[in-house]
Structure 1
Amino acid sequence: GEIGENFLGELVNDAGLYIKISSPITEDFKQQEEKDLYRSLLALKIFNVSQQKPFILSLFKTLEEKKVKLSQVREILAFIEKFHFSFNAICSMRPSGIDKSYYTAAIQLLETTNKRDCQVVLDELQKRLQTRIPAKSIFINKFSELRYISKYTKNKKLIQYIFSYIESTKQTTNEFKPDRMTLEHILPQSSNTECVGLIGNLLPLGEELNKQAADKDFNIKIEIYKKSNFTLTKEFTKNRPQQWGEKEIIIRTKELAEYCYDSMWVRNQ
């Protein structure tokens, strides 16, 4: 209603809160339980989406007022992150109607008075967005268009995000803090093949190991990859094909796409 709309107007003008969610910094999220909120907000910044902002403002205001639990916030933010990763960052789909869903939920949240009602609003929003999750086939096609070479870096941050996401699903502990991640081309860029920039030809690697690998032969590179802290990179050395070329790159690109989609949308249902 009108009260909620007025509240929302005030929130959008609350510069402090707006900056906190739009350009998150670690200092604002000191507690261990808040780290996930920080990571989700940072991801949304990488995806360059803003439809969710009125809702997230409202969500954080509701959290400040203790009408919603931190765990509820963490859960819905994780969902929103996965949703926009798939819908915007990968598939670039038309967002008609999504603004309205967020706006409605933002206002309803500000008008709730207890945790149970808040949860109803969050569930309702999640249900609406769930109907818009892209089909797996579209996701795989779009995912296969991502590329990174030194002359074309537009997707670099997104690919690093994808590798961090995959790592997080494979890590059993929270201890893992990756070295600064660089993107290693298995088939060297100097090969000038069309598919060299595809994600199937990339591995996360620490800076030092990336320098060592350089343009070396595939079998020598494998020995270097074995020293990596990244689970994905270690796994690659265990199940590697005998040779590495276009066919292998295309197969692995599709496998990574399927893994991302399934781990986000299939196993959790």
Structure 2
Amino acid sequence: MSRDDEKAPPADPQRQGPQRLADLMRKGMSQARERPSAGLAQFEADWKQREVESQQAKATERARHEAAHAEAWPLHLKRCHAPPEAVEALAGDKVLETAALRAAKHVLHEGLRTLLLSGGTGVGKTVGACHLFRLAVRSETHGGQRLPEWDASAGVYVSWSRLKRASDHEAEDMLLLQRAVQVRVLVVDDVSGPPGEEVGPRQRELLEELVDRRDRPGLVTAYTTRLSVQRRDGGSSDFATHVGARVVSRMSRQGTFHLADCGNRDLRQGATP
């Protein structure tokens, strides 16, 4: 025995035990990865197969649900009181990609509150505005996943001429005004009049109240007009003159509003968007 051997301290069994156990565990895990047992390999294969089947089932359920929505979409447009021409234009296999439709898609994508569509007759303003009824949905759980389900009571279309009658305090129209204020998606169609004409005091008060009360998160409102929204010689636009500066200011608050001038090409006469 050498002097070095005589001087070497004895091994510490308390330190050697845990270290040895760790080495054995690492070696065992390495061998398991290199040569997995038949049972472990089968368990892993079964687990992967179940995952694939689960994903396929979810995809099938989502496709079925989306197909059901597509089939029911025309009916829900009607329940939102969209006019027949808008139902026909939006329910077909190929929806015409107009400036108004692109504006509505932008509002949905960006989560904005207000859309103002201007332009001549036949440019697709009403159809584009009614596309916003896509947002009239509620979340429902189907097969463990949350899917949108149409809620027609959450959307309503109304012409401005009809809504103005609410200022005359007729019972039916007052109920319409109440719903217009509360509904999640509202389309107010054709807020217009002869150039230079202003909305009457009672109608302007009604419009101001409507704009004010609908300027809240979670509500979306589309207004259409045949009046120009372009300023004239540095002054007010025809639309601003008609409805008043306060309404325009409230509608067009930065970050909540989108304006689209859809031009004057009558698509019903064969013009291209």
Q: TM-score, normalised by structure 2?
A: 0.26
Larger Rg: 2
Structure number having the greater helix percentage: 1
